[in-house]
Chains A and B, each alone.
Chain A
């Protein structure tokens, strides 16, 4: 069942590698939306990139993009990579080392009879658009990781693709530049009118940038849903681990994070300031019948909105003032009587709040 949405990507295919690894993937991306392919290392994410790019053949299935069939194994259709019109920012960016930045971007310009000069002019336009005009004459080896990533994105966009495909765009960057590049990336992602596919192993990246998340594990799709759905109803242990993580955004200063419509949270790091992304593991959130004493410095009274049984443990979701999910053992649940609608004290140790610049 492949419904062709004009402008979007519809892919349902199987790749079998010589190593015996098998990837079966189904992903649909509508124009103007971002889908994240989220999975651990070895799940088949890179294989998906090269298969969609047409570099490695698919063994069965159909891939169509913007109303064009790119792969249809049964019908014997396989469009070569250079005619697929897919703009890829590759995992290691893969800027051509012997060409300077301008020539790299110009290489991606599809010259509809424009000739070399036209391509260079268009490339200059793209670099200026990204604010990278000053880097034109540099070799890729002279760029920082963040700069290379942006040049790679400019090169992909300059080819005027029908699909934008980002393969682990932030993994090569250090933590400091990651937030900045993520923001720039988010802006450019949203301004690209076609379908966008983001390949990542980082749940924060997927949940922040994507409208829909496709979780793949061991070569197959284990869950598809909005970030919210996956966080609420994870279907596998891996997804549960990713999804259960509480993500909170706010503004940090002097060891306190001001959370938009929520309580202020105390953090250990007093040096961070500005917008931050907080991750709090569900097992780091404790639940108490009375106001807790001692070290947990973030505590408030909240009502349980839902309880989800995971077997040995269960997931307790709290509503206002801050929606968070806690994971406790089933024994604790019985002991404390944790049921939807009841009020409890929620406590988070400052040391358990992981702070990243957003």
Chain B
């Protein structure tokens, strides 16, 4: 066995058992899930109304959240990467807070902001009768709240690494700021933008805590896949396993899509 620099790497023996246990930590749950999968009934389980409804809601809310992440996150990332303004670190901290915040706390915060008695929600409700919580829009908002930071962090990094001389060259060639952004900046950070979008989407797909707190767990209205798994564990374990299997498959697909970015480059 040769190490990265070409000389044999001899691991300190004390690390070996921990590394093996660490590996098992990730392997055993997956094997457990697969061993309990009712393979013969999988087709009928996945075509049941609870599963199809949850799948539909999950797709809508996660894609919607990813779209919001792109539309709001790219401009945010641009300002964080390119502009010097007072309180920039504060803004960056605020934007990335949902990455470390317990999602259930995020859901509660959203409720106090956009709920019927919330800071903004009350005024909106009285003016229009529109209520975000316990609606599909609420799920999208909760997902976007937790997913957008992943996009911002990825895209900001890409913008910082971009050789700005290309953008300067485009400006010197007569392109205005918007044209430079659209024709040069965006295409050049394309791979990172795609990766950030995928990460945000995957985060939204798995979102549980903020969704259940802010949007509730209404089957057919706000019950996404992770919520359906949670409910099914109490009532119908085979359905829970089938749903979980779908999420595992999706997660693996995301990893495969990102493999050039993470696996090979490390």
**CA–CA, A85 and B174, complex, Å:** 7
Tell whether, in the assembled complex, residue B168 and residue A50 are in contact, meaning their CB atoms are under 8 Å apart: yes
Known interface pairs A90-B165, A107-B183; A98-B188 also in contact (CB < 8 Å) = yes
In A85-138, which residues have CB < 8 Å from any B CB?
85-86, 88, 90, 92, 94, 96-98, 107-108, 110
**CA–CA, A156 and B184, complex, Å:** 17
In A76-92, which residues have CB < 8 Å from any B CB?
80-86, 88, 90, 92
Query: Which chain A residues border B130 with CB–CB below 8 Å?
Result: none
Tell whether, in the assembled complex, residue B172 and residue A107 are in contact, meaning their CB atoms are under 8 Å apart: no
Q: Does B173 sit at the interface, judged by CB under 8 A?
A: yes
Query: Which chain B residues border A53 with CB–CB below 8 Å?
Result: 168, 172
Give A208-245 as 1s and 0s: 1 = Cβ < 8 Å from B's Cβ atoms.
Answer: 00000000000000000000000000000000000000
Looking at the complex, which one of B166, B176, B188, B190 makes contact with A82 (CB distance below 8 Å)? B176
**CA–CA, A204 and B101, complex, Å:** 64
Query: Which chain B residues border A84 with CB–CB below 8 Å?
Result: 172
Known interface pairs A98-B187, A107-B183; A159-B166 also in contact (CB < 8 Å) = no
Q: Which residue of A lies closest to B187 (CB)?
A: A98
Tell whether, in the assembled complex, residue A159 and residue B174 are in contact, meaning their CB atoms are under 8 Å apart: yes
Query: Which chain B residues border A159 with CB–CB below 8 Å?
Result: 173-174
Which has the most chain A C-beta neighbours within 10 Å: B169, B171, B184? B169
Give B152-186 as 1s and 0s: 1 = Cβ < 8 Å from A's Cβ atoms.
Answer: 00000000000001101111111110000001100
Interface on chain B toward A: helix, strand, loop, or mixed SS?
helix
Q: Does A54 sit at the interface, judged by CB under 8 A?
A: yes
Closest-CB distance, A203 to chain B (whole angstroms):
27
Tell whether, in the assembled complex, residue A94 and residue B175 are in contact, meaning their CB atoms are under 8 Å apart: no
Closest-CB distance, A189 to chain B (whole angstroms):
19
Tell whether, in the assembled complex, residue A86 and residue B172 are in contact, meaning their CB atoms are under 8 Å apart: yes
Query: Which chain B residues border A94 with CB–CB below 8 Å?
Result: 165-166, 169
Q: Does A155 sit at the interface, judged by CB under 8 A?
A: yes
Which has the most chain A C-beta neighbours within 10 Å: B165, B168, B183? B168
Query: Which chain B residues border A82 with CB–CB below 8 Å?
Result: 171-176
Q: Does A331 sit at the interface, judged by CB under 8 A?
A: no
Q: Which residue of B lies closest to A111 (CB)?
A: B174
Closest-CB distance, B185 to chain A (whole angstroms):
11
Tell whether, in the assembled complex, residue A81 and residue B187 are in contact, meaning their CB atoms are under 8 Å apart: no
Query: Which chain B residues border A90 with CB–CB below 8 Å?
Result: 165, 169
Q: Does A351 sit at the interface, judged by CB under 8 A?
A: no
Query: Which chain A residues border B173 with CB–CB below 8 Å?
Result: 82, 107-108, 155-156, 159
Q: Which residue of A lies closest to B164 (CB)?
A: A55
Looking at the complex, which one of B171, B175, B183, B184 makes contact with A55 (CB distance below 8 Å)? B171
Closest-CB distance, B93 to chain A (whole angstroms):
26
Q: Which residue of A lies closest to B169 (CB)?
A: A94
Tell whether, in the assembled complex, residue A96 and residue B171 are in contact, meaning their CB atoms are under 8 Å apart: no
Tell whether, in the assembled complex, residue A96 and residue B190 are in contact, meaning their CB atoms are under 8 Å apart: no
Query: Which chain A residues border B175 with CB–CB below 8 Å?
Result: 82, 107
Q: Which residue of B lies closest to A50 (CB)?
A: B168
**CA–CA, A257 and B182, complex, Å:** 55
Query: Which chain A residues border B165 with CB–CB below 8 Å?
Result: 90, 92, 94
Query: Which chain B residues border A92 with CB–CB below 8 Å?
Result: 165
Closest-CB distance, A149 to chain B (whole angstroms):
14
Closest-CB distance, A358 to chain B (whole angstroms):
31
Give A251-287 as 1s and 0s: 1 = Cβ < 8 Å from B's Cβ atoms.
Answer: 0000000000000000000000000000000000000
Q: List the 7 shortest-distance A-B pairs measured between CB atoms, nearest first.
A: A81-B171, A94-B169, A108-B173, A98-B187, A55-B168, A53-B172, A81-B172
Known pairs A80-B171, A96-B166, A96-B184; list 14 more (Cβ under 8 Å): A50-B168, A53-B168, A81-B171, A82-B174, A83-B174, A86-B172, A90-B169, A94-B165, A94-B166, A96-B169, A96-B188, A98-B187, A107-B173, A108-B174
User: Can you list 14 A-B pairs, Cβ within 8 angstroms, ordered by A?
Assistant: A53-B168, A54-B172, A80-B171, A81-B172, A82-B171, A83-B174, A86-B172, A90-B165, A96-B166, A96-B169, A97-B166, A97-B188, A107-B173, A155-B173
